[in-house]
Amino acid sequence: MHRAVDFLKERFPEDVLEVVEFRGETTLVVHPRAIRALLTALRDAPEMSYKYLSMIAAVDYYPAEPRFGVVYNLYSHRYRDRLTLKCLLPGEAPVIDSVVSVHATADFHEREAYDLMGIVFRGHPNLKRILLPPDFVGFPLRKEFPQRGQ
Amino acid sequence: MTPILPEKQYDTMLLNVGPSHPSTHGVLRVLVELDGEVIVKAEPDLGYLHRGIEKLCENRTYHQCIPLMNRLDYLAGEVNNFGFCLAVEKLLGIEVPKRAQYIRVIIAELTRIASHIFWLGTHAHDLGAMTPLFYGFREREKIMDLCEMVSGGRMFPAYFRIGGLAADLPEGFVEEALAFVKDFPNKWKDYDTLLTENPIWKKRTVGVGVMTKEECLDYGWSGPMARGSGVDWDLRRDNPYSSYEDFDFNIPLGTREGDVYSRYLVRMQEMLESAKIVRQALEKLPKGDIKVDDPRISLPPKEKVYTDIAALINHFKLIQEGVTPPAGEVYQAIEAPKGEMGFYIVSDGTGRPFRVKIRRPSFVVLNALDKLARGRLLADLIALIGTMDIVLADVDC
Amino acid sequence: MGIEEHLGYNILTTSLEKVVDWARKSSLWPATFGLACCAIEMIVTAANRWDIARFGMEAFRASPRQADLIIIAGTVTKKMMPAIQRVYDQMTEPKWVIAMGACACSGGIFDSYAVVQGIDLYLPVDVYIPGCPPRPEGLLYGILKLHEKILRDPFLTQQYREKLAARKEAA
C-alpha cells in the first residue's frame, strides 16, 4: 500500500473515495472539493514532500458519468516516488478549484485543460485559451468533436 | 537638475516578438511590454504549431502513433518514442529483451547529444556567437548518419516498436558508433574553447535567469533546467528504466544559483556523459532477441508470413487491430533532453488508445518566462528563450 | 517593377531578359520561415555539409522586404496562417514560394482540426518538395528546379507587359 494512502485517509477520511493500484502505480480518486487542501497537505508534510506537480491531465470518459476526469501526477524528490490523484467531474458543468496557489506550474496545465477540454478552474488568474486561436469555438479533445474540425 | 518630464509620465510600449522571428526557435510569440529597454511584462502566446497530436492518437492504433510521437520534440526524434513505447509496454506488463534495451539506450543517448549540439548552436547564434553552430553540425551530421544507418530516417528514425525494435542493428554500426564516441570528447573541446571562458559569453549569460531550487520545483522544471539550479535529480538514475542502472555515469549539477551560464555548463557536461553511456553500452552489448517473443505483440518474421498460414493471420490481426493492452491508466516519464517527458495513456482495452496525454517539458518551462524576464533588458529575453531550450512542437503538441 | 519598368517593354531584348533572370536565380535570398521540423533540415542545408551558399542563398533574410523566396518549411496551422499571409504580402516582387515537406504540400500526417491542409490553399506555390522531412539533397533539388523555372519562364516580364499594354489601352 502506498505510503500516502494512510496519511490522506487519516486527515481527509470522506474525501478519499477509491484507491486503484495498477502496474506498480497508485491512483487515488478523491472528491473535487478537497483538491486544494489535499495538494497543500501532500506538499507541506515532511513525510510526504510531494513538492513537484508533473502534470494535470483532463480526460473525457464519455459516455460514463461523471464524464470528466482531472488527473494530478505528483513526484516526491525526497522519496523518489509518484502519486496520482484523480477527480471526477460531472458532464454539464465541469468546475474545479485551481491549484495555482499550491503549485505555480499548474498555470499552463490548467489553461491547456480548459482550452482543449472545457474544464473551468475556479480562481485561476488568467483562464483563457492557450493553444487554439482565441476565437475558436468548441473543445477539441471532447469525444463528440470530430478530428478534422467543424 | 530638474528632469525634463516628471516620473511616471512614460507609457510602456508593447512589442510583438514573433511568431516569425529569427531568434524564437520556431513560431513562438512573446508579447513584451517595455519601459525603454527594460521588460515590464513578457507574456508568451503559444499555439502556433498546435497540430492536435493528442486527438490524432485516439483514432490510430498504438503502432500508428509512433511516427506522430517522433515529431513532438523534433530535435531528439527517437527519445519521444522511447517514452511512448515504455508507457505502452507498462500497460501491457511486458519487458523487452536486454539487447533491445541496450540499443534503445544507445539511440536515445546519441539523439540527446544531437539535441544538445543543436541547442548550443542556436543559443550561441542568437547571442551573437555564430561559429559553434558550424562546429556542432559536424558532429550532428555524424549522428544523423548513424540514425540513418539504423532505420533510414535522419531526424525521425521511428525505430522503436512496442515490444522492442523494428530490426536489428546493421553491420558496421557498432564500429562506426564506437569510433564516433571515442573521438567525441576531442571535438567537444572545440565548443568548449569557443565559449566557456569567453568574456562576451559570460557577460551575456552570467546572472541572467536565476531560479532557486524551490522555485524550480514549484514551477515544474526538470532536466538540465533544474540541474542548472542545483536540483540533484535525473530520472535515469533515480527511477531507472530500460537498463540505465547498468551504466556508470555522473549527473552534472549547476555550480551557482541557476543562471543561463550554469545551465550551459550542465548541458555541455551532459553531452560528454551521454558519450560515456553510449560507449559502455556498445562495449557491453549483449546478444539476443530484439523483440519480445509474444505473438500478440510482435510481428512474426517475414519469411514465415509468406509461407505459414498461422503467421499470416497473426500478422494480419496485428496490423489491423494492433496490440490490445488491458483497460487501465499509466504514466511513464523519461529523461528527455529537455526535461521530464511523460506519457499518460488511458486504455479501454481496444487496440486504439482512449486518451494520450503528453507531458511536454518545453511547455512547462515556458510558464516561468514572465517571472524571469521582468526587470531585465530586452536582449536578455533572447538569452532566456535560448536557455529554456524550447522546441515549439514540444510546446504546442 | 524592377528593371523592366525603367527600360520600358519596347526595348527589352531577350538576351537582357536572360541576364536579369540569371541574376535573379543566382542569388535568391530566402526569408526565414521555418515553422516546424522541416526548418531543421533547412538549417542543416544552410550549414557546413550541404552548403547552400554554393547557390548564393546563404543570406536568409529576417525581413520579408529583403527576401525573394519564402520556403514554407513545416506545418501550417490555422492560427499561424494570418502571419504567413502578412509576411508573404510584405515581400516585394518578384517572389517565389517553395512548399517544403508533406505538411506544407498537403497537411502531411496531421489531418486535424488545427492544421491547414496544404499551403497552396492560400499562397501560389512554385515548387513542391515532398518528404517528412525531405532530405537536404531533396531541398537542394527543389531549389535547382526553381532556378530552372526562373530561367525558362520570364512570367513577370510577360505579365507586366500585358498590364502595361492594358493601361495604355485604357488611357
Give the cell for residue B161.
Answer: 516498436
State the nearest Cα–Cα gap between B59 and chain C, in angstroms: 11
Chain C residues with CB within 8 Å of chain B CB:
32-37, 39-41, 44, 47-49, 60, 62, 74-75, 77, 79-80, 83-84, 87, 109-115, 132-133, 135
Instruction: Residue C75: list chain A partners with CB under 8 A.
Output: none
Instruction: Tell me the pLDDT band of C166, cut-offs 50, 70 and 90.
Output: confident
pLDDT at C153 over 80: no
| Single pTM value for the model | 0.91
Cβ contact C114–A150 (<8 Å): no
CA gap C118, B118 in Å, rounded: 28
State the nearest Cα–Cα gap between A110 and chain C, in angstroms: 20
Query: In degrees to the nearest 10, what's the CA dihedral of C40, A131, C119, C107?
Result: 80
Chain B residues with CB within 8 Å of chain A CB:
46-47, 50, 52, 54-56, 58-59, 90-91, 93, 214, 217-220, 222, 231, 233, 238-239, 328-331, 333, 340, 342, 344, 346, 354-355, 357, 359, 363-364, 366-368, 396-397
Question: What is the per-residue pLDDT across B203-261, written as a single tens digit (0 to 9) for each?
Answer: 989 988 898 888 999 999 999 999 999 899 999 999 999 899 999 999 999 876 788 99
pLDDT in 10s for each residue of chain B, 397 residues: 555 555 555 688 899 887 888 766 888 999 999 988 899 999 999 999 999 999 999 999 999 999 999 998 899 889 999 999 999 999 999 999 999 999 999 999 999 999 999 999 999 998 888 899 999 999 999 999 999 999 988 989 999 999 899 999 999 999 999 999 999 999 999 889 999 999 999 998 998 889 888 899 999 999 999 999 989 999 999 999 989 999 999 999 987 678 899 999 999 999 999 999 999 999 999 999 899 988 888 888 888 889 999 999 999 988 888 899 999 999 999 999 999 999 999 999 899 999 999 999 999 999 999 999 999 999 899 999 999 988 999 998 8
Mutate to test the interface with A, among B60, B329, B330 (most CBs of A within 10 A): B329
CATH architecture of the region B53-364: Orthogonal Bundle (1.10)
Which of C78, C79, C112 is facing A147, going by the closest CB pair?
Answer: C112
pLDDT at A78 over 80: yes
Report yes or no: B155 at the C interface, CB cutoff 8 Å. Answer: yes
Mutate to test the interface with B, among A40, A55, A126, A139 (most CBs of B within 10 A): A55
Give the cell for residue A106.
Answer: 499548474
Dump the DSSP string for A96-107.
EE--TTT-TTHH
Q: What is the mean pLDDT of residues C5-29?
A: 72
Cβ contact A133–C79 (<8 Å): yes
Which among B98, B163, B113, B118 has a CA at the least distance from the CA of B279? Answer: B113
CATH architecture of the region A3-122: 2-Layer Sandwich (3.30)
Residue C125 Cα distances to A6, C113, C119, C141, angstroms:
64, 23, 8, 16
pLDDT at B174: 94
Instruction: Residue A145: list chain C partners with CB under 8 A.
Output: 113
Report yes or no: C111 at the A interface, CB cutoff 8 Å. Answer: yes
User: Which residue, chain included where needed, has cell 483562464?
Assistant: A127
State the nearest Cα–Cα gap between B49 and chain C, in angstroms: 6
Query: Computed from CA positions of residues A101, A106, A107, A110, in that sequence, does the dihedral angle turn out positive or negative?
Result: negative
Give the cell for residue A5.
Answer: 494512502
CA gap A116, A123 in Å, rounded: 19
Helix H, strand E, coil C: the string for C17-76 is: HHHHHHHHHHCCCEECCECCHHHHHHHHHCCCCCCHHHHCCCCCECCHHHCCEEEEECCC
CA gap A10, A16 in Å, rounded: 10
Reading phi first (left if > 0) and then psi (alpha if -120 to 50, else beta), residue B65 is in alpha
Q: Is the ipTM of this complex over 0.90?
A: yes
pLDDT at A138 over 70: yes
Phi then psi for A63, rounded to 5 degrees?
-90, 15
Which of C49, C87, C115 is facing B52, going by the closest CB pair?
Answer: C115
**Residues B104/B164, Cβ–Cβ less than 8 Å:** no
AA identity, residue A147: Q
Cβ contact C111–A146 (<8 Å): no
Instruction: Residue B340: list chain A partners with CB under 8 A.
Output: 54
Report yes or no: A133 at the C interface, CB cutoff 8 Å. Answer: yes
Count Cβ atoms below 10 Å from residue C108 Cβ, excluding itself: 25
CA gap B366, B259 in Å, rounded: 16
Instruction: Tell me the pLDDT band of A87, cut-offs 50, 70 and 90.
Output: very high
Residue A136 Cα distances to A22, A128, B120, B334, angstroms:
37, 11, 37, 33
Where exactly are the structural domains of chain B?
A: 53-364
Beta strands in B54-202 (DSSP E): 160-161, 164-165
Count Cβ atoms below 10 Å from residue B375 Cβ, excluding itself: 10
Chain A residues with CB within 8 Å of chain B CB:
22-23, 25, 27, 51-55, 57-60, 71, 73, 77, 80, 82, 84, 103-105, 107-109, 112, 116, 129-133, 140-141, 145, 147
State the nearest Cα–Cα gap between A2 and chain B, in angstroms: 16
Cβ contact B333–A57 (<8 Å): no
Task: Write the burial class of residue C77 (CB in 10 Å: 0-12 exposed, 13-18 middle, 19+ buried).
Answer: buried
State the nearest Cα–Cα gap between A34 and chain B, in angstroms: 20
What interhelical angle do B98-126 and B131-151 show, nearest 10?
A: 160
Pairing verdict, β B29-35 and B38-45: antiparallel
**3-state DSSP call for residue B142?**
helix
